[in-house]
């Protein structure tokens, strides 16, 4: 059964942030989080190719198993922080990782979409609008707390992890995945910017004008990029993140990194997709993008992780447990 436990969820989807709203949000990081993510909520799954079928179930389970795959399943009650549209927890539940879920996010628009997705999938999920620095649940409530691509948005990561440990039952586990590494973020941003510049310049050539998105859409993307720079607060060195988790009180802390060659392909591909009209890229492109990412991920896993230092990989994941006494 899906229930919305917080009456503050705004039922109206937010269409686009205005230039004034963007200006106000530049001064207030949490306002920026809500504005940016409410703005993205209804189109987020499409933008990031998120689905709730085998492809993303395998992807979510793979990211979970990379740091916590040696643990007995299923967990009973699981909480997700910064759930977005529910990509991580809903797919983990479908993969048999947890039986009952609670999705939370600072953005009301995201919680609304996550609950809708859970209902469509028939999963046992409730939801609340919640700040990860002050989690609105009782002590010792959850067997598992998860998050994907959320820690880098939270101003005080250690405070949030203290809250995670408070709401976990003794011995309970947290798993956060999909965080940008400091080195990975540097090359990803650089590759993204270069791809955007080249694509938007080349599509100014009249013969290629059908590959150019309308100017107002490109302006909107630039406004989104300005907000993105405000909402992305941290990058992580895996060893530093382990220290933060231990300092918050966690035990059995362990970080893993993934995606080096795969990220070098993935960032230009995603930026190119955002810079040209969606109808220009057909099935062949999707096959190339996904197939290429999969092949390079295998290269990363089988070869490069044994020779390239872990901080060079793009994605950081971390796990740990709440002390038993």
Ligand X SMILES: C[S@@+](CC[C@H](N)C(=O)[O-])C[C@H]1O[C@@H](n2cnc3c(N)ncnc32)[C@H](O)[C@@H]1O
CB of 283 to ligand X, least distance (A): 24
Which of residues 106, 157, 255, 262 is near ligand X by CB under 6 A? 106
Q: Is residue 107 near ligand X by the rule CB under 6 A?
A: yes
Residues 118-147 interacting with ligand X (rule: CB under 6 A): 131-133
Contact of 136 with 106, CB cutoff 8 Å? no
Residues binding ligand X: what is the number (CB under 6 A)?
21
Q: Where are the alpha helices (DSSP H) in the chain?
A: 19-25, 29-41, 44-47, 54-68, 87-94, 108-121, 157-167, 182-202, 215-231, 238-248, 261-275, 283-299, 305-307
Rounded Cα gap, residues 119 and 85, in angstroms: 12
Q: Give whichever of 129 and 245 is closer to ligand X, judged by the CB atom.
A: 129
CB of 210 to ligand X, least distance (A): 31
Which of residues 25, 33, 39, 60 is near ligand X by CB under 6 A? 33
Contact of 182 with 236, CB cutoff 8 Å? yes
Which of residues 78, 145, 150, 253 is near ligand X by CB under 6 A? 150
Which of residues 84, 172, 238, 266 is near ligand X by CB under 6 A? 84
Q: At what angle do helices 261-275 and 215-231 cross, to 10 degrees?
A: 140
Q: Which long-range contacts (CB under 8 A, 24 or more apart) does 21-28 make?
A: 22/223, 22/226, 22/227, 25/227, 25/230, 26/226, 26/227, 26/230
Stretch that binds ligand X, among 65-73, 76-84, 92-100, 259-267 (CB under 6 A): 76-84
Coil, strand or helix: which one is 32?
Answer: helix
Identify the CA nearest to 142 among candidates 119, 163, 114, 157.
Answer: 163
CB of 173 to ligand X, least distance (A): 18
Q: Is residue 267 near ligand X by the rule CB under 6 A?
A: no
Q: Is residue 114 near ligand X by the rule CB under 6 A?
A: no
Q: Is residue 154 near ligand X by the rule CB under 6 A?
A: yes
Q: Is residue 110 near ligand X by the rule CB under 6 A?
A: yes
Rounded Cα gap, residues 313 and 184, in angstroms: 6
CB of 274 to ligand X, least distance (A): 15
Q: Which positions touch ligand X (CB under 6 A)? A: 33, 37, 81-84, 87-88, 105-107, 110, 131-133, 148-150, 153-154, 178
């Amino acid at each position: 059964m899906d229930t919305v436990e917080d009456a503050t969820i705004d039922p109206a989807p937010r269409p686009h942030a205005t230039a004034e709203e963007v200006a106000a949000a530049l001064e207030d990081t949490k306002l920026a989080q809500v504005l940016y993510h409410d703005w993205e909520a209804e189109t987020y799954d499409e933008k990031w190719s998120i689905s709730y079928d085998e492809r993303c179930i395998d992807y979510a389970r793979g990211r979970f198993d990379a740091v916590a795959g040696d643990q007995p399943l299923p967990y009973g009650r699981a909480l997700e922080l910064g759930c977005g549209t529910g990509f991580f927890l809903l797919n983990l539940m479908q993969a048999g990782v947890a039986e009952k879920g609670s999705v939370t996010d600072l953005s009301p628009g995201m919680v609304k979409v996550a609950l809708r997705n859970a209902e469509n999938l028939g999963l046992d999920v409730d939801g609340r609008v919640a700040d990860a620095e002050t989690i609105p649940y009782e002590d010792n409530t959850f067997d598992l707390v998860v998050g994907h691509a959320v820690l880098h948005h939270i101003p005080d990561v250690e405070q949030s992890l203290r809250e995670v440990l408070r709401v976990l039952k003794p011995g309970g586990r947290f798993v956060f995945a999909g965080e940008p590494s400091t080195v990975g973020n540097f090359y990803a941003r650089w590759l993204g910017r270069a791809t955007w510049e080249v694509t938007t310049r080349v599509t100014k050539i009249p013969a290629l004008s059908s590959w150019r998105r309308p100017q107002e859409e490109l302006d909107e993307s630039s406004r989104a990029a300005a907000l993105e720079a405000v909402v992305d607060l941290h990058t992580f060195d895996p060893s530093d993140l382990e220290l933060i988790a231990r300092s918050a009180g966690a035990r059995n802390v362990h970080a893993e990194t993934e995606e080096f060659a795969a990220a070098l392909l993935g960032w230009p591909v995603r930026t190119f997709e955002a810079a040209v009209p969606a109808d220009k890229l057909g099935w062949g492109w999707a096959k190339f993008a996904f197939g290429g990412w999969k092949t390079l991920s295998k290269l990363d896993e089988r070869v490069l992780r044994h020779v390239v230092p872990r901080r060079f990989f793009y994605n950081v994941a971390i796990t740990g447990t709440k002390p038993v006494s």
